[in-house]
Amino acid sequence: MPQTTLPPWIQALHQRDPEFVDSYMAQRERILREGAIPAKYKHLMTMIVDALQTHPDGVATIANRARAAGASEAEIQEAVEVVYLFGGTPALVTAMNAFRA
């Protein structure tokens, strides 16, 4: 699903080096299109990464891309649960060091 507008975070770079940004965007579109892994799953994976990196606007944008690629609300919910498990559990494991003797 080709993206028609540049994401806000890269627009300033596009003004300085449009050739680089065009190359980046083409590569991004190639990687995220349908392939051996369906596009909706690629978008769900990127949503999980954005959540782990605490990019709330990115999560919202990517969740909508996943929906547009055919992801159901149940699939998005499960992705949210996966990110909780792998984002929250490491914090709990680290916090358990409070009880080391």
Tell me whether residue 76 is in a domain.
Answer: yes
Distance CA 32, CA 46 (A): 9
- pLDDT per residue as tens digits for the range 46-91: 999 999 998 999 999 999 999 999 999 999 999 999 999 999 988 8
Tell me how long the chain is. Answer: 101
Q: Domain residues for 75?
A: 8-99
Q: For residues 11 and 18, is the Cβ–Cβ distance under 8 A?
A: no
What is the per-residue pLDDT for 4? 59
- The pair of structure tokens assigned to 73 is 């609300």
- pLDDT per residue as tens digits for the range 11-38: 999 999 999 999 999 999 999 999 999 9
Tell me whether residue 44 is in a domain.
Answer: yes
Name every residue whose Cβ is closer than 8 Å to that of residue 79 and which is 6 or more positions away in sequence.
Answer: 44, 47, 48, 66
Domain of 37, CATH number, reads 1.20.1290.10
Distance CA 101, CA 89 (A): 21
Predicted model pTM = 0.83
What's the number of domains the chain is made of? 1
